[in-house]
Amino acid sequence: MKKIIILMGGFSEEREVSLVTGEQIAKELENIYQIKKIDPKEYSSYHLMMEEIIEFDPMLVFIALHGAEGEDGRIQAYLSLHNIKFTGSGYRASALAMDKIISSKIAKSVDVPVANKIIYEKSHTIDKEIACQLGFPLVIKPNESGSSFGISIIHHENDIENAIEFAFKYSDKIICEQFIPGRELTVTIIDNVAYPVVEVKPKSGWYDYQNKYTKGNTIYEVPAKLSVTEEKVIKEYALKIYKAFGCEIYSRVDFRYNGEEFYFLEVNTLPGMTALSLTPMAAKEAGISFGDLLKKIIDLSILRC
């Protein structure tokens, strides 16, 4: 029986989500492959973890990690150095996608709209007046984080200081960004093909961690209600991003839409695979079951040179 390792858990704030993703993948694949689940947090070093991976001799490592030390390219670099095949994008695209500041610059370079923003480092003196020039509501978020950790949407100048302090808990660089009103939409790309657009509609508040991972908190529309022209534009933008970053196998690109422009938010190089995850929803709308989606990802990853 062919062997697959599932990397899951890890060290990031998204550890619990990653464990759920890993278990979902393992459950679907365990009757087809010999599965070994590995959690990087259980090892004192990546070197020891790699020794166990090499000893198991898998045909593939399915990366079910999320957030830093999973999506930032480090794991991908280690696996590449040992010529071990893995799912998802390589280390370069992963590192670029994890850095929201760089991501925004790349999107802008390929003519995909991005929100106006100001960058702060911990060493900077925070000038609230400059941040206020972006207008309210204002989004304040860490540069490297996922699943909405460290993000605040604020409506008053008095809230800026606390939001900045909160964001700095997750990154040494933070972003103060113009809030784009309207709709939140996402496009999954698999093997350079854009899948049906998904719209996320939280029943209250915004699409934060609670609304992402609590069943019943969010309504999902698949496909999103868009005109033919709107759908064409957002899919073209998503493909531009996918190619500009050098993504491979599969990724998901998130946008805000104010009714006039689609604004790039971020690209996820290892989209979630839980029951509430957006990539399996898009695949299902395209007629692809969860099992077939995993098989497609595995087959594409094996064929990658």
Tell me which of 213, 242, 250, 257 is the catalytic residue.
Answer: 213
Looking at domain 96-113+180-303, its CATH class is: alpha beta
Question: Which pLDDT score is estimated for 211?
Answer: 47
Task: Looking at the structure, give the CATH architecture of the domain made up of residues 3-86.
Answer: 3-Layer(aba) Sandwich (3.40)
The verdict on whether 254 is a catalytic residue reads: yes
Tell me which of 104, 120, 266, 301 is the catalytic residue.
Answer: 266
303: enclosing H helix or E strand: helix 290-303
Domain boundaries, the chain: 3-86, 96-113+180-303, 117-178
Global pTM reads 0.90
Question: Exposure pattern of 47-81 as b/e (b: 16+ CB <10 Å)?
Answer: eebbeebeeeebebbbbbbbbbbbbbbbbbebbee
The verdict on whether 209 is a catalytic residue reads: no
Token pair, residue 272, equals 């979630």
Tell me which of 147, 148, 211, 301 is the catalytic residue.
Answer: 147
Identify the CATH homologous superfamily for domain 117-178.
Answer: ATP-grasp fold, A domain (3.30.1490.20)
Per-residue pLDDT in tens (0 to 9) along the chain, 305 residues: 899 999 999 888 788 889 999 999 999 999 999 999 999 999 999 999 999 999 999 999 999 998 777 888 999 999 999 999 999 999 999 999 999 999 999 999 999 999 999 888 876 666 666 666 788 888 888 887 654 677 888 888 888 888 888 888 888 888 888 999 999 999 999 999 999 999 998 765 544 455 455 555 688 999 999 999 999 999 999 999 999 999 999 999 999 999 999 999 999 999 988 767 899 999 999 999 999 999 999 999 999 85
Question: Which pLDDT score is estimated for 95?
Answer: 93
Cα gap 202→52, rounded to integer Å: 42
Cα gap 104→115, rounded to integer Å: 9
The verdict on whether 272 is a catalytic residue reads: yes
Contact of 251 with 2, CB cutoff 8 Å: no
Phi, psi of 275 (to 5 degrees): -65, -25
The verdict on whether 10 is a catalytic residue reads: no
The verdict on whether 266 is a catalytic residue reads: yes
Question: Which pLDDT score is estimated for 148?
Answer: 63
Locus of tokens 């599965």: 35
Looking at 57-99, list the stretches that DSSP marks H as alpha helix, in order from N- to C-terminal side: 74-81, 91-98
Locus of tokens 């972003």: 175
Neighbours of 214 (CB within 10 A): 11
The verdict on whether 170 is a catalytic residue reads: no
Tell me which of 13, 14, 199, 231 is the catalytic residue.
Answer: 14
Question: Which pLDDT score is estimated for 274?
Answer: 79
Tell me which of 148, 268, 277, 301 is the catalytic residue.
Answer: 268
Contact of 59 with 2, CB cutoff 8 Å: yes
Tell me which of 15, 74, 183, 252 is the catalytic residue.
Answer: 252
Question: Which pLDDT score is estimated for 127?
Answer: 65
Looking at 133-276, list the stretches that DSSP marks H as alpha helix, in order from N- to C-terminal side: 160-167, 209-213, 228-245
Tell me which of 71, 144, 199, 254 is the catalytic residue.
Answer: 254
